[in-house]
Homo-oligomer: A and B are copies of this chain.
C-alpha cells in the first residue's frame, strides 16, 4: 500500500525527454524514464508524453519546442556531460534565450577531483558545472554535472537531470522531488492502494467493473495486466489519510463483491508466492513438492522468497515415469493403468513427498507441457494434487492453452493459488 503526497493547487502536465543516441540504437534500456514517471505519479503530476531523441541539436530543439507548446513541466534527462554530444543545457538555454553561467561549488568539486586523482583536467569538463542563468542549479552528489530547475514565468518550466542512473536517482529523490512538491503543491494529497488478482483475465475483470471505471472520479481505478495476473490501482485524492482510507475502503468493498474470490493480495511489490509463504509462516506449516511437468519451477519460485527455508524443505522432480517409481514409489501399475497424467498419480505424488519429507503439506504437479500430447491427454492438461495435513488428499485437473513456458508458469501459479485458498479457509 503506497500512499504519498500531492494533489493540485494547479493541475500539472509533465513531459519527459530522454536524450541520447545510444537509447535510439537500443543499446541500453531507458530505466530513468519509468523511475522519474513513477515519482511524478506519486506527486500527482501527470505525464502525458515521453520522448527519446538522439544527440542532435536540431532534433532536440524541435522536440523541446513541441513539448513546450503542450506541457507545463518539461523534464530532460541526459546530455549534461562534458562531451561534444552533450547538448541538453545549451539547447534549452538557447530556447529560453538565457546564457549559461558557472556554478562555483560544482566547479570546485571538479577541480578538487582532478587535483586529488592527479589526472589532467581537460577544458570540456567545465561544461558540467554550467547551468542556465536564473535557474536553480541542483547538486549532483554522485557525479559532476549539475542539474537545473527553471521556473518559467512565461511558459513551461524545465527540469534538467543527468543521464547516468547512479546520478539521476539520488538527484531526483533527494533534490528534485521535494522541490517539485514544494513548488507545485500545498494542500491536497494522493493515496494509492493496489489490489492484486489471479485467475481472472484483464478483459473479464474490466468487464465486471466497467461501470465503476466509466464513472470513476475519486478514487480513480487503473487496471494493469501482467503475464498471469491483473492489478487495479485505486487512487484517492484527499486532504488527509483517514478520509482517503475511507474512500479506498468503499471502492474496494464494491470491487470485492464482484471479483473478491480472485483478489489475493495488496501492494506494488507483492506476489502470489509471497502471500503463500507468509501464510505458511503464520500458520507454522511446512511444505514439500513433487513436480513432473513443472520440473522444479514451483520449488525454484518458492526459493525466490528469502527465508523460505522455514516453511519449505525440498522435494523431487520426477520428469520420467521411472523417476516417479524410483523417487516416489508410485506403483508402475498406477502409471500404466491410470497414466502419469491422472488424478491418481497426482494424489500419490503429493502424499508420497509429504510422507518422505515429513512435512505438513505435499503438493504435486503432473501434466502435458508439450510439444506433443501424452497418453491421449492434449497439451495443457495439468493435474495438481495437494495432501494437506490429515485431510483426504485432493487432485484437480486444469486445462491451460498456449505455449510450453506459459503452461508451466500457469501451473505453478495455479498451485500457489490453490494453496492460498486452502491456507485461508
Q: Which A residues are within 8 Å of any B CB, using their own CB?
A: 2, 21-31, 33-41, 47-54, 56, 59, 63, 66, 81-85, 113, 116-120, 122, 124-125, 142, 164, 166, 201-204, 206-207, 213, 222-224, 227, 288-289, 291, 293-300, 302-304, 306-309, 312-320, 322-323, 326-327, 356-358, 369-371, 399-406, 408
**Residues B327 and A319 in contact, CB atoms below 8 Å apart:** no
For A116, what are the chain B residues with a Cβ–Cβ distance below 8 Å? 399, 401
Residue of B nearest to A303 (CB): B295
| Contacts known (A37-B26, A48-B59); A303 close to B316, Cβ less than 8 A | no
In the complex, the 8 A-B pairs of residues with the closest C-beta atoms, listed nearest first = A296-B296, A26-B38, A26-B37, A295-B303, A314-B323, A296-B299, A26-B34, A50-B52
**Inter-subunit contact B403/A142 (CB<8 Å):** yes
29 contacts across the A-B interface (CB closer than 8 A): A21-B222, A24-B50, A25-B37, A26-B35, A26-B36, A26-B38, A26-B41, A29-B30, A49-B63, A51-B52, A84-B206, A117-B400, A117-B401, A289-B317, A293-B303, A294-B303, A295-B300, A297-B303, A299-B317, A303-B319, A312-B320, A314-B318, A314-B319, A314-B323, A316-B317, A317-B317, A322-B357, A326-B358, A327-B327
Residue contact B322 to A327, C-beta cutoff 8 Å: no
Closest residue on chain B to residue A42 by CB atoms: B26
Known: A24-B37, A358-B326. A371 touches B303 (CB 8 A): no
> In whole angstroms, what is the CA distance A322 to B310 when docked?
12
| Contact, CB under 8 Å: B303 / A207 | no
Residues of B within 8 A of A323 (CB): 288, 313-315, 357
Give chain B residues whose Cβ lies under 8 Å from the Cβ of A49: 24, 51-53, 59, 63
Q: Are the C-beta atoms of B26 and A30 separated by less than 8 Å? A: no
A33 touches B30 (CB 8 A): yes
A315 and B314 contact, CB distance less than 8 A: no
**Chain B residue contacts of A113, Cβ below 8 A:** 401
A258 to chain B, nearest CB (A): 14
Query: Among the listed B122, B202, B404, which residue makes an inter-chain contact with A204, where contact means beta carbons less than 8 Å apart?
Result: B122
B300 touches A83 (CB 8 A): no
Main SS at interface, chain A: mixed
Query: Known pairs A288-B323, A295-B300, A313-B319. 15 more at Cβ < 8 A?
Result: A26-B36, A27-B34, A29-B34, A49-B51, A49-B59, A49-B63, A83-B203, A84-B206, A294-B303, A295-B303, A304-B405, A314-B316, A314-B323, A323-B357, A326-B356
> A25 to B38, Cβ gap below 8 A?
yes
Please state if B303 and A300 are interface contacts (CB–CB under 8 Å): no
Closest to A305 in B: B404
Smallest CB–CB gap between A7 and chain B, Å? 17
Closest residue of chain B to A123 (Cβ to Cβ) is B207
A121 CB → nearest B CB, Å = 9
Contact A300 B306 (CB under 8 A): no
A343 to chain B, nearest CB (A): 18
Report whether B319 and A316 are in contact in the complex, using a CB–CB cutoff of 8 Å.
no
Contact B356 A124 (CB under 8 A): no
Q: How far is the CB of A71 from chain B (nearest CB, A)?
A: 11
Q: In the complex, what distance in Å separates the CA atom of A402 from the CA atom of B24?
A: 29
Q: Is the CB of B296 within 8 A of A298?
A: yes
Q: Which of B52, B307, B356 contacts A33 (CB 8 A)?
A: B52
Name the residue of chain B whose CB is nearest to the CB of A114: B401
Residues of chain B contacted by A202 (CB below 8 angstroms)? 81-83
Given the complex, which residues of B lie within 8 Å of A39, measured CB to CB?
A: 26
Question: Are the C-beta atoms of A203 and B122 separated by less than 8 Å?
Answer: yes
Give chain B nearest CB distance to A235 CB in angstroms. Answer: 10
Residue of B whose beta carbon sits closest to that of A226 = B28
Contact across chains for A33 and B41 when beta carbons are under 8 A apart: no
Cβ contact within 8 Å between B306 and A295: no
